[in-house]
Amino acid sequence: MLQLRVDPDLDLAERQHAAHAHLGVHHHAAPSLSLIFQGWHDERLGRHLHRCDPLSVTYKRGGIDHSNQIGCDGLHGVFVELSSDAVAELESPTTRRDFLLIGSPRSRRLVRYIAGESALQKPGFELALASLLAELLAEMSRFATPHSFGRPPWLERAREYVEAHSSMRITLAELARHSGVHPVHLAQTFRSRYGMSVGAYVRRLRVERARQQLATDRSTISQVALAAGFTDQSHLTRVFRMHTGTTPARFRRALHPNPVQDGGSGRR
């Protein structure tokens, strides 16, 4: 696995994780970048859940507690530890952030180039990596502005409302009324800020709630489905498999040798 000091400000380490691996709450002492070459993961920071897709980049300030749930395809990428000088352009009294997630066309192209240099390791690849990472930091600095990444109060209200009512039926019109903005503006801004539609965000919250309940109590899968907001066990099974690559029953069996028996398609 590749591990090297690209320059005095950048330490790079290649990382691989198996499918469905869970990295419990932890933090890194220094500011860092995570670049995903293949696979995806969900990153949780407190109440906030972020889907990090292939070729996306995340930045975290040092000391920020977070956890990671690896997706069904595993994960391959690099972790870059940054010096304070390397992130000076990302931080100021008005733009300081604990976390950034970007997937712009330019940043995705740079991640693809970095993946290629890391794989081939031809003569001079360290210099190429340093140059590409400098370009990536410059791209991230464009997103670390109030205009690009600021969260207006109404958007925070919308997110909190969604998370508090994720097990219920939420309409865009209802959410817009609660937030005090037009439904179209809400839908566009929500997708821009969180990288997914309101409906997709709700489904992920429901899957996460179901996953936690499957792991911690003995409710039947049908009961878990209803508690999380799914119409029935089959609905849960279909969405759960789409997000995790496995069924609720198999997920529970992997954790508990003698799970509660359930009827229906979720057992297979």
What digits encode the pLDDT tens for the residues 73-87? 899 999 999 887 777
Tell me: pLDDT of 61 over 90: no
In the chain the beta strands, taken as DSSP E runs, fall at 3-7, 10-17, 22-26, 32-45, 48-52, 57-60, 66-82, 99-102
Answer yes or no: are the C-beta atoms of 50 and 42 closer than 8 Å. yes
24-52: average pLDDT: 90
Convert 138-152 to b/e letters by CB count within 10 Å (16 or more is b).
Answer: ebbbebbeeeebeee
Cα dihedral 66, 67, 72, 78 in deg (nearest 10): 60
Q: Which residues pair with 38 in a beta bridge?
A: 76
**Helix, strand, or coil (residue 156):** helix
Q: Residue 74 is inside which H or E element, if any?
A: strand 66-82
3-148 and 200-267, same CATH topology: no
Domain boundaries, the chain: 3-148, 153-195, 200-267
CATH number for the domain running over 3-148: 2.60.120.280
Task: Please state, for a pLDDT cut of 70, what percent of the chain lies above it.
Answer: 88
Report the top-level CATH class of 200-267.
mainly alpha
Amino acid at 119: A
C-alpha R_g of the chain: 20
**Helix, strand, or coil (residue 59):** strand
Q: Residue 210 is inside which H or E element, if any?
A: helix 198-216
98-114: average pLDDT: 85
Per-residue confidence band for 235, with pLDDT thresholds at 50, 70 and 90 = very high
Tell me: pLDDT of 142 over 90: no
Amino acid at 15: R
Supply 136's token pair: 């990536």
Amino acid 265: pLDDT: 44
Per-residue confidence band for 92, with pLDDT thresholds at 50, 70 and 90 = low
Per-residue confidence band for 91, with pLDDT thresholds at 50, 70 and 90 = low
**Helix, strand, or coil (residue 40):** strand
Give the Cα separation of 82 and 9 in Å (integer). Answer: 6
Q: Residue 57 is inside which H or E element, if any?
A: strand 57-60
Which of these, 83, 87, 70, lies nearest to 36 by C-alpha position? 70
Tell me: pLDDT of 163 over 90: no
Amino acid 79: pLDDT: 96
27-54: average pLDDT: 89
Per-residue confidence band for 115, with pLDDT thresholds at 50, 70 and 90 = very high
Amino acid 38: pLDDT: 94
Amino acid 93: pLDDT: 47
pLDDT digits (tens, 9 = 90+) for 2-35: 888 877 778 999 999 999 999 999 999 989 999 9
Least confident of 6-20, 53-67, 183-197: 183-197
**Helix, strand, or coil (residue 14):** strand
Which of these, 204, 203, 217, 215, lies nearest to 248 by C-alpha position? 215
Q: Residue 100 is inside which H or E element, if any?
A: strand 99-102
Answer yes or no: are the C-beta atoms of 181 and 217 closer than 8 Å. no
Q: Which residues pair with 44 in a beta bridge?
A: 49, 67
